[in-house]
Amino acid sequence: MRLADMRFWTQKRLIDEEAQVFPDPGHITSALNVSAWQVQKRVMKVAPDVFRKHYYRNLEVNKYRYQQPRGFIRPKQLFVKYRSTGGWVEALPGAENLIETGYYGSELRYAVTGGEIVLSIIPDVAVEDGFHLLYVPSLGMAEDDDDLQDDGLSEPLHMAVVLWAVKLLLPEGGEDNTKIDAEIVSLLDDIPTLYGSLDSGIPIAVEGLGLELSGSEASE
């Protein structure tokens, strides 16, 4: 479901719930992006790597600090190619202070800090696409044609994102959210069926995916 369609359905539900219209589409887009993360983290309990992305950038001479990609949550693996004719070398996690003091010597390590990824070995030549990061991003939309399905979120769960945005946008002290919560929980219950085990193909169950919405568990 495209962002434009999600905004339409969010607007429609808000009118149904509160006879209220939000004229600024930016507010709805922000709420949808927050809601996308709420659904995403529940999917990741079942399929931790389903949203993993690949990020390539050039290695630059004498540069050992590189900006994280937009939407970065956490790294999975990092590979570096220090020569255009060489192979990939996997960097192991390390500590920034030890990298800065040269503790690791010729051992390739990396640290994530302050929105940057720091390498322990400083490149002495420029290598095109010599920096290959596999990472977990947060789902997000900005343009009308952006579709969360392109980032790995199954289409049947898109309405859960819409309903969560409706919850966020409803006025404080307004209508009871019990009905909306029940709809969201019903959609989240399908996550194990939609994703299951990526290794075996057999659906698995993960307890607590929507319990905080039904009142059986404290909110996260």
- Mean pLDDT, the chain, rounded, equals 87
pTM: predicted TM-score of the whole model, two decimal places: 0.79
User: What confidence category does residue 200 fall into, taking pLDDT thresholds of 50, 70 and 90?
Assistant: very low
Q: How far is CA 120 from the centre of its chain?
A: 27
The CA distances from residue 165 to 30, 100, 125, in Å, are: 9, 43, 48
Q: Please choose, from the candidates 141, 137, 110, the residue with its C-alpha nearest in 3D space to the C-alpha of residue 123.
A: 110
User: What confidence category does residue 17 fall into, taking pLDDT thresholds of 50, 70 and 90?
Assistant: low
pLDDT at 41: 94
User: Which amino acid, one-letter code, is at 51?
Assistant: F
Inform me whether the pLDDT recorded for 43 exceeds 90.
Answer: yes
Question: Residues 113-126: what's their mean pLDDT?
Answer: 96
User: What confidence category does residue 199 fall into, taking pLDDT thresholds of 50, 70 and 90?
Assistant: very low
Q: Nearest 10 degrees: CA dihedral of 151, 153, 155, 159?
A: -120
Over the range 105-121, which residues count as b (16 or more CB within 10 Å of their CB) and which as e? eeebbbbbeeeebbbbb
